[in-house]
Structure 1
Amino acid sequence: MDVLSDLLHRARARDAQIRQLIQRPPWSMTFDGAPSLTVVATLGGHASVRLDDDPRTAPVRLAAGDIALISGVDRYTIADAPDTPPQVVVRGGRKYAVDSGTAARQNLAPRTYGDGLPGATTLLRGAYELGGDVGERLLDMLPQLAVVPTGPRTRAALDLLAAEVAHEEPGQDAVLNRLLDLVLVLALRAWCARPPAELPSWYGALATPAVGDALRLLHGDPAHRWTVAELAARVGRSRAAFAARFTEVVGEPPLSYLTGWRMALAADLLRDTEETVAAVAREVGYADAFAFSVAFKRARGVSPSDWRRKHR
C-alpha cells in the first residue's frame, strides 16, 4: 500500500458528511467548529471562501469546477461574494439563521438544500473528521486553504458525486463516501503537482525508484521485522546504496522512518481502542512490550499508559 492510500485509510472518519447547496445569490454560510478537513467544490456559478480564523488571508474565489481543501480551521465562511454578510451559521451539524438564532432548514432533496431557482450556484461540500497522529500526518500536507482549479479528471469525479448526492437508495452512503474519497485523492494529486507546493519529503519520495517501493513495503506491513538489508534486497539495490538514497530523499534512515510510523499508529491505537499495551506493541511490530514502551517514551516523552490516560 502506498503512503497516501495508507494515510487516507487509517486517518479518515467512516461517515463523511456530504451536502449540496443550490442557492441564488446573495447567500452566505459560516461554519463554526468546523471539521478538520473539508472538500468544497463549485459545480455551477461561483463562490468565495474566507478563513475567519485568519483575517490576514484574503478570500479566495472559486469558479465552476474548482475545488477548495480547507484544513485545520475552526471557523470559515463560504458565500457568493466576499462582502455578503453571513446568513446562516452551521454549528454542531445544525444550521442557524443569523438574524434569529433559530434552526434553519430548506431541504430540496436528500442532502440538498437551498432554493433551487434559476441562476443558482450549485455547491458540494464534504467534511471529514480526521483524528490522531495519522490524521495530523495527512493534514501536514496541506495549507489551511488549498485551491485546485478545474480539470478534466476532477470534473468527471465531481459530476459523478453530484449525480448521486440527491439520491436515497440502498448503499447510498457507501457510494457517496467512495466518490468523495475519489474527489479528495484527485484534488490532493493535482494540488501536490502544482509548483512550488511545499510537501512532506515522503510524498516526493513515492516517485523515486527503489525508495517509493520501500515506502510501500513499510506501509503495507509495518509490523514486519524489517531490516535495511531485507528492504534493499526487496527493491533490488545494494544495502549501502539503498540506505544512502532513502536517507537523502526521505530525510531520515529507513528504520527511523519505520519507527516514527509505528509510533504514530501506536498512539492512535492507545487513544482509540481498548487493546492492552502488549497487544498494541505486537500490532506495530514489537514482540516485547517493554521494548515498545521504551521506544514509545523516547518518541513521545511519556509511557504508553500515560499517553492513553492523557489523550482519552
Structure 2
Amino acid sequence: MIQRPPWSLTFADAPPLTVFAALGGHAVVRLEDLPEIPPTELAAGDIAVVTVSRRHTISDDLTTAPQAVIRAGHKQLLGPADRQANLSNALAPRTYGDGLPGATTLIRGTYAPQGDAGRRLLSTLPPPAKVAANPRIDAALELLTSEAARDEPGQDAVLHRMLDLILVLTLREGCTKSGLERPTWYRALSDTAIGTALERVHSDPAHRWTVAELATAAGMSRAAFAARFTELVGQPPLAYLTDWRMTLAADMLRDGSEMTVAAAARAGGDQDAFAFSVAFKRVKGVSPSRWSRETAASATS
C-alpha cells in the first residue's frame, strides 16, 4: 500500500501470522480483539509480527477511523467516496493507494501455517513484536518492494520465498537484538550442547534415542545433560522426544490422510501401533484415528 494519511485498514479475519513492514512514513497496529495489548507503532524500516490476533487495524494514527474492512480477501470500503477511490486504486500488481508524495508505504505478508508443527511454532512466539529497522532487513525489504510491483512468470514463488526470508530475519533479529523475551526453543537451539542434541532428535525422530546417547552427542554427563535440557526446553529429553514425535504424527494423519495409524507409528520409531495410540492420546487428548477424522471434518467445514 502507498497512501497518504489519513488512512486506516481493518483486517477482520486475519490468518495466524501476519508481518507488517513500514517502508516509509509512520504506522500503528492495534489488536481489536485483544484491547489489553498496547498498540505497536512503526517508523520507516520497522517490522511488526502479529501472531495472536485475528482482527486488527493498521493506520497512520490511532485516531483515524477505519476506511476499509478486509474479510475473506474482499475489501469493504467505508467512509467518504474520495477516500474509497484511493484505497481501491491499483498502482501496480499487488499495490494500491494514491502513490502521491508524503504517502506511507506499507507491505503486508500473511501466513497460514498448516499442521501441528506450525501451530507449535506459533504458540512459542511472543505477542505483537516490533523489530527496529536495520541494514540487513532493510536490504531484503528493498528487494521485496521491487519484486512486488513486477508481474512475471514465477513471481508468486519469488515473493513467497522472499517473505519467508524476511520473516526468518525478523524473528532472528527479534530474538537476538530487540530485547524481546527469547522463546524457549530459541534459547535451547542457541546453546551449543543442547542445540546439538535437538538437531539430532529433529533430523532422526524415529531413532530410539536414550538420554545417555543424547548426552554423549552433547558432550555432557547424563545427569548434567538432563538437567540442562529440562531447564532450557521446559521438558525432560524423552518427554520432548515423545511430544515431537506426536506432533509429526499428527501432521501425517491430519485432514483424512491415507496414512494408517501403524504407518505413522513406524515413521515415529514405534513398531507397536497400540503403544503409539496410547502415547498419541496422552499428548493430543484424542486417539490417532479420531484426530484424522476430526481434522478432515474441520478442513471441509
The TM-score normalised by the length of structure 1 is 0.87
Q: Which stretch has the larger CA shift, 138-147 or 85-94?
A: 138-147
CA positional deviation for 1:193: 2.3
CA positional deviation for 1:235: 3.1
CA positional deviation for 1:199: 3.6
Which residue in the other structure is 1:32 paired with? 12
In the alignment, structure 1 residue 189 sits paired with structure 2 residue 172: yes
User: Aligned partners of 1:234 and 1:55: how far apart in 2?
Assistant: 46
CA positional deviation for 1:288: 2.1
Indicate conservation of the 8 Å contact 2:245/2:268, yes or no: yes
- How has the CA–CA distance of structure 1 residues 222 and 73 changed in structure 2, closer, same or farther, with 3 Å as cutoff? same
Which residue in the other structure is 2:78 paired with? 98
Which residue in the other structure is 1:160 paired with? 143
Which residue in the other structure is 1:8 paired with? none
Which residue in the other structure is 2:199 paired with? 216
SS, match of residue 173 in structure 2: helix
Question: 1:309 is matched with which residue: 275, 293, 296?
Answer: 293
Q: Deviations over 1:95-141 (max 9, x none)?
A: 11124999973211111111111111110000001244222221123
Give the letter for the 1:284 counterpart: G
Q: How does 1:34-183 map to 2 (within 5 A)?
A: 34-99=14-79, 105-183=88-166
User: Aligned partners of 2:276 and 2:192: how far apart in 1?
Assistant: 32
SS, match of residue 296 in structure 1: helix
User: Aligned partners of 2:281 and 2:80: how far apart in 1?
Assistant: 51
Which residue in the other structure is 2:247 paired with? 264
User: Aligned partners of 2:201 and 2:30: how far apart in 1?
Assistant: 39
In the alignment, structure 1 residue 244 sits paired with structure 2 residue 227: yes
Give the letter for the 1:69 counterpart: V
Q: Which stretch has the larger CA shift, 221-230 or 290-299?
A: 221-230
SS, match of residue 206 in structure 1: helix
Q: Which stretch has the larger CA shift, 97-106 or 231-240?
A: 97-106
CA positional deviation for 1:196: 5.4
User: Aligned partners of 2:80 and 2:102: how far apart in 1?
Assistant: 27
**Contiguous gaps of at least 5 residues in structure 1:** 1-20
Same amino acid, percent of matched pairs: 62
- How has the CA–CA distance of structure 1 residues 162 and 311 changed in structure 2, closer, same or farther, with 3 Å as cutoff? same
Indicate conservation of the 8 Å contact 1:43/1:65, yes or no: yes
CA positional deviation for 1:170: 2.2
User: Aligned partners of 1:191 and 1:200: how far apart in 2?
Assistant: 10
Indicate conservation of the 8 Å contact 2:125/2:183, yes or no: no
Indicate conservation of the 8 Å contact 1:132/1:267, yes or no: yes
CA positional deviation for 1:66: 0.3
Which residue in the other structure is 1:11 paired with? none
In the alignment, structure 1 residue 293 sits paired with structure 2 residue 273: no
Q: Which stretch has the larger CA shift, 194-203 or 120-129?
A: 194-203
Indicate conservation of the 8 Å contact 1:141/1:199, yes or no: no
Q: Which stretch has the larger CA shift, 216-225 or 101-110?
A: 101-110
User: Aligned partners of 1:206 and 1:123: how far apart in 2?
Assistant: 33
User: Aligned partners of 2:233 and 2:42: how far apart in 1?
Assistant: 34
- Which structure ranks higher in relative contact order (CA pairs < 8 Å, sequence separation ≥ 6)? 1
**Contiguous gaps of at least 5 residues in structure 2:** 297-301
Indicate conservation of the 8 Å contact 1:140/1:200, yes or no: no
Which residue in the other structure is 2:263 paired with? 279
Q: Which stretch has the larger CA shift, 189-198 or 292-301?
A: 189-198
User: Aligned partners of 1:152 and 1:80: how far apart in 2?
Assistant: 24
Q: Deviations over 1:20-56 (max 9, x none)?
A: x011111111101111000000001111111111223
Which residue in the other structure is 2:299 paired with? none
Q: Which stretch has the larger CA shift, 71-80 or 273-282?
A: 273-282
The TM-score normalised by the length of structure 2 is 0.90
